[in-house]
Amino acid sequence: MTEMAFLKAILTYFALALIIFLSAYLFSADVAIFFSIFLLIPILMWQQNYLKKEKISKQVDGRAKRTILFWIFTLFILALLVRIPSALLFGMPYEKTPLIYLTIFTIIVIEKTDISAFGFKTQNMGKAIFHGLIFYAILGGLTLLTNYLLVYVFTNQTSVQSYAIPLFVLAMPFHTLCVGVSEEGFFRGYVQTHLEKFYGANRAILIQAALFGIWHFVWNLNPLDLWGMAQYIALAFFIGLPFGYFYTKAGNLASVIIVHGLWNSVQLGIIANQAAFDALQSIPIATQILILLLPYAISIIPAILFIKFVVKEI
């Protein structure tokens, strides 16, 4: 039963990826994004219908550590099998909706567990969104502000030329409903929830953040940029730490999904100043690293304090 169910999940996963890839190839990125969002409706309807027919557990199952690690590794590799060609062919993360299907099918059909046990909760949504907005204001807002100031100090140039609000508005649905749900659902929800049972919260946060960092190597494959890849992996790792800590405290993915959507969408609206970027290339590497990492280091501290003293289970 498990093997057949997983085979169906894999076939559905690759079929969805093919549909989205073809829509991007034959039509446009906008059409592929539309399909990515639209195809979330069937999985929502299926999940609600399945729960009416089948009895599943509200608690994470007690399978052996070796089995859990196998499933985490398998899902991660399957996700990369679509993510890598998506990045190379289209420069877009079109694997998101298929990954949502794969994760939810695995949790419900194979592990016989309600997705709420992995942080997919709808109760107290207002509170979850409110906490997410504050979290983003601290982590994302302070990061952007510090980066802006550092660039100006070292280059005498402003890093932002202008801001395109329409780009932010158009990007937000995809980066929240597809990118946010898939990555938070898999790394924080599925991976971290399982790992906490064997390694405790701190080690689970570190491991999922490391996987989250590795997950982002794809954007520097073509053209191959090892320095850029190392920076991207490091930044994703550092972002994964407070996200993981927030999930451990709240037990609800809604907040970090909102933050994820804002993190990506707000930055997409920024029209960078090319003169500032060119000036950055001429300063010492050590200074470039400082400008890159210091904003995150500064913003993570108050973000962690906010989570530690304010965030409770939602």
Nearest CA among 267, 264, 46 for reference residue 173 = 264
CA distance 176 to 264: 9
Residue-level pLDDT at 1: 53
| CA separation for the pair 103, 99 (Å, rounded) | 6
Tell me the one-letter amino acid at 85. Answer: P
Q: Mean pLDDT across the chain, nearest whole number?
A: 95
- pLDDT confidence of residue 54: 87
Tell me the average pLDDT across 211-221.
98
What integer pLDDT is reported at residue 45 of this predicted model?
95
Q: State the average pLDDT over residues 192-200.
A: 95
Report residue 274 CA to chain centroid gap. Answer: 28
Q: What's the 3-state SS for the chain?
A: CHHHHHHHHHHHHHHHHHHHHHHHHHCCHHHHHHHHHHCHHHHHHHHHHHHHHCCCECCCCCCCHHHHHHHHHHHHHHHHHHHHHHHHHHCCCCCHHHHHHHHHHHHHHHCCECHHHHCCCCCCHHHHHHHHHHHHHHHHHHHHHHHHHHHHHHHCCCCEEEECHHHHHHHHHHHHHHHHHHHHHHHHHHHHHHHHHHHHHHHHHHHHHHHHHHHHHHHHCCCCCHHHHHHHHHHHHHHHHHHHHHHHHHCCCHHHHHHHHHHHHHHHCEEECHHHHHHHHCCCHHHHHHHHHHHHHHHHHHHHHHHHHCCCCC
- Is the pLDDT at 211 greater than 60? The verdict is yes
> Pseudo-torsion of CA 101, 106, 109, 110, nearest 10°?
160
4-8, 177-181, 226-230, 286-290 — most confident range: 177-181
Res 233: pLDDT? 96
Band (pLDDT 50/70/90 cuts) for residue 63 is confident
Instruction: Provide mean pLDDT across the span 155-172.
Output: 95
Residue 257 pLDDT greater than 90, yes or no:
yes
Label residue 251 left, alpha or beta by phi (over 0 means left) and psi (-120 to 50 means alpha): left
Task: Tell whether the model's pLDDT for residue 314 goes beyond 90.
Answer: no
pLDDT for 3:
79
Give tens-digit pLDDT for 269-308: 999 999 999 999 889 988 988 898 899 999 999 999 999 9
The stretch 160-173 carries a mean pLDDT of 96
Rounded percentage of the chain residues whose pLDDT exceeds 70? 100
Parallel, antiparallel or unpaired: strands 270-272 and 160-163: antiparallel
Q: Which pTM was predicted?
A: 0.95
Question: Looking at residue 134, what is its pLDDT?
Answer: 97
Residue 36 has pLDDT above 90, yes or no: yes
Neighbours of 133 (CB within 10 A): 14
Rounded to an integer, the average pLDDT of 144-171 is: 95
Work out the average pLDDT over 63-83: 95
